[in-house]
Amino acid sequence: MTGPLVEIRKLSHSFGGHRALDEVSLHVEPGSYTVLLGPSGSGKTTLLSIIGGFVHPDEGSVFIRGNDFTRTPPAQRPTATVFQDYALFPHLSVGNNVGFGLRMRGVARAKRVGRSREALAMVGLADSYHKMPHQLSGGQRQRVALARSLVVEPAVLLLDEPLGALDLKLRRQMQDELKALQKRVGTAFIHVTHDQEEAMALADHCIVMNDGRIEDQGPPERVYSRPASRFSATFMGESTLLSGKVLDLGTDEIRIDTRVGLLSLAGAGEPGFDVSLAIRPEHITLVPEPGSVSLGEAAVTDVVFQGSFKRVSAVSAKDPGVAFIAKLRSSQPVAVGDTVTLYASPAEMVLLSR
Ligand code: ATP
């Protein structure tokens, strides 16, 4: 197949007077793991529901394999959805839950049983065919829900906060399983979450949503290291944000007058324009390193031990409105109330236009 598997063109949708989606366009490539990441109310579920056919958009279209499915009911789309609460039938055995979609499609019993068994084996539950859902743990029920959706061989699997009901440890374990499963079956997954760690662990393509719009999208490594907006820089991991004004341009450098002093870095911009610099916590240090510059003195306001590192918050002595977040080695002696000088390399700073 050439071209994207799913193509979303300028989707807009309102509930009452509230615009839940605002001209959202995106592509999903065959075999990819796409994660829709954003805070509560940013429109992730609405977008997923439109792709699955549970909501018809006010404007825009949904193409799957080049065909327009915008107004097609869910059962007639090449999609399947896994919901957060799994929605298993409590009175049906695990095997019959998995085979349900095949039964609806008129697949003969012997074939249905065979394919359901294969799907259960795929998620590591070959022994559970005759069990009832209440005899399974949360993680196992989640796997049954996955098997039930994959058995009908959808072109796209839609997952709405599929790990939301699990405790943190199981959640991290299921993430690894989901990623491995997706690569094994090769079906494109579109997965909604508000958990940025989950997004980074799973996504080939990460879409950051805010207020019904796409703020940023790309491979998670790129979204993390070079966020496209202030929102993306603070939602996909933490950042220190320094606002400033472009002073002048060199050949391939600009000088920015920030609230902690003048900084020069590679990039382009119009003199006089307001910009922001985003610095990731792991790029702020207490000792100068080759190429780094001073960000001035700061008072340490919080130190949280997090195992292999300490998360340190500090406020600029020059401008108390500037809050630094640094990730320092655990062995580094630093305590609340200390005055420290902070450093960062301009090469690690991300220039944002707003
Ligand atoms: P969450 O992570 O909390 O599920 P979300 O990013 O998935 O949030 P949506 O559920 O898509 O966000 O909601 C986007 C906006 O649309 C929200 O303001 C929400 O209140 C509103 N909304 C969603 N569904 C409906 C509905 N059926 N009726 C009215 N308003 C709705």
Query: Measured between alpha carbons, how far is 96 from 204 in angstroms, rounded to an integer?
Result: 33
Give the ligand 1 atom nearest the CA of 192: 7
Q: What is the mean pLDDT of residues 90-98?
A: 94
Distance of CA 22 from the midpoint of ligand 1 (Å)? 13
What is the SS3 assignment for 118? helix
d(CA 247, CA 254) in angstroms, rounded, equals 7
Instruction: Put the strands of the sheet holding 213-218 in their side by side order.
Output: 79-82, 156-160, 188-193, 33-37, 205-210, 213-218
Confidence of residue 1 (pLDDT cuts 50, 70, 90): low
Helix (H) or strand (E) holding 231: helix 230-235
Check the CA dihedral 70-76-82-87 and report its sign.
Answer: positive
Lowest mean pLDDT: which of 111-115, 172-176, 255-259? 172-176
Percentage of the chain beyond pLDDT 90 is: 68
Q: Using 50, 70 and 90 to split pLDDT, how confident is the model at 172?
A: confident
Q: How close is the Cα of 45 to the center of ligand 1, in Å?
A: 7
The alpha carbon of residue 299 and the mean position of all alpha carbons in its chain are separated, in whole angstroms, by 33
Question: What residues does each domain of the chain span?
Answer: 6-234, 238-352
What distance in angstroms lies between residue 324's CA and the mean position of ligand 1's atoms? Answer: 33
User: Which string of DSSP letters, residue by residue, matches 52-69?
Assistant: HTSS--SEEEEEETTEE-
Rounded to an integer, the average pLDDT of 212-221 is: 95
Say how many Å lie between the CA of residue 21 and the centre of ligand 1: 10
Tokens of 139: 């993680």
Tell me which residue has tokens 């207020």: 211
Query: What CA–CA distance (Å, rounded) separates 344 from 347?
Result: 9
Residue nearest atom 31 of ligand 1, based on CA coordinates: 15
Query: For atom 22 of ligand 1, which residue has the closest CA?
Result: 15
Find the mean pLDDT for residues 224-240: 91
CATH topology of domain 238-352: OB fold (Dihydrolipoamide Acetyltransferase, E2P) (2.40.50)
Q: State the pTM of this model.
A: 0.88
Q: Which CATH architecture has domain 6-234?
A: 3-Layer(aba) Sandwich (3.40)
Residues near ligand 1 with C-beta < 6 Å?
A: 15, 18, 20, 38, 40-46, 194
Query: So what's the pLDDT on residue 284?
Result: 95
Ligand 1, atom 2: closest residue by C-alpha: 40
**Six token digits for residue 166:** 């699990």
